[in-house]
Amino acid sequence: MGFSEATRARLSVTPLDSEPDARECAQLMASSEPWITLGRSFETALSIVRDPSREVYLARDESGVAGFLIVCMTGAFVGYIQTVFIAPRCRSQGLGSRLVEFAEERILRVSPNIFMCVSSFNHGARRLYERLGYSVVGELTDYLVQGHSEILLRKTIGPIMGPAVTR
């Protein structure tokens, strides 16, 4: 089941630009899986959402925050999707796919590669990412928490040293 066309038309994705929204995102993250299992506190989530080296995008619908996205455009993995969060009331309606596609459009303007990690216990998210064309390129065992792995995924349109990326 996906969002209706009317709901899709009313859904906006914009840069996070206020402290109240940052705090709401952090609260949503800290009170939801997979972040509960990962031990993510409100304070840790808030520092992640506030990190000036990250781009945070907020998805809103007529009821408020529907989800958010955190993208990293610096470091070894330029074009890293750090977080895709969908509010529980909006899950299984296509918003995760929409936010990943939004991130891909942003990243592909500067890099031919998109990376993300998914926790080994987050089977639904992994199925989604694989359906969207992501491939497993590695596993980081016991990386964030003991007993669980982070699965490194990649989607690519070519090597970094290939033809120039359209900007």
The predicted-structure confidence for 134-144, as pLDDT tens digits, reads as follows 999 999 998 88
Give residues with Cβ within 8 angstroms of 15, minimum separation 6.
55, 56, 57, 58
Answer whether residue 163 is part of any domain.
Answer: no
Answer whether residue 162 is part of any domain.
Answer: no
Provide the domain limits for residue 70: 5-156
Answer whether residue 167 is part of any domain.
Answer: no
pTM over 0.95: no
Q: How many domains does the chain have?
A: 1
Cβ atoms of 54 and 71 closer than 8 Å: yes
Give residues with Cβ within 8 angstroms of 77, minimum separation 6.
113, 115
- Residues 52-68 have pLDDT tens digits of 999 999 999 988 899 99
CATH assignment at residue 73: 3.40.630.30
Per-residue model confidence (pLDDT) at position 10: 65
Give residues with Cβ within 8 angstroms of 47, minimum separation 6.
none
Cβ atoms of 26 and 63 closer than 8 Å: no
Mean pLDDT taken over the chain:
90
Q: pLDDT band at residue 158, thresholds of 50, 70 and 90?
A: confident
CA-CA distance, 35 to 99, in Å (whole number)?
18
Answer whether residue 164 is part of any domain.
Answer: no
* Helix intervals (H) in the chain: 5-10, 19-30, 42-50, 95-108, 123-131
Edge-to-edge strand order for the sheet containing 80-86? 12-15, 54-61, 64-72, 80-86, 113-119, 149-156, 135-141
CA-CA distance, 156 to 165, in Å (whole number)?
12
Answer whether residue 161 is part of any domain.
Answer: no
Answer whether residue 165 is part of any domain.
Answer: no
Answer whether residue 20 is part of any domain.
Answer: yes
pLDDT greater than 50 at residue 76:
yes
Work out the average pLDDT over 44-48: 97
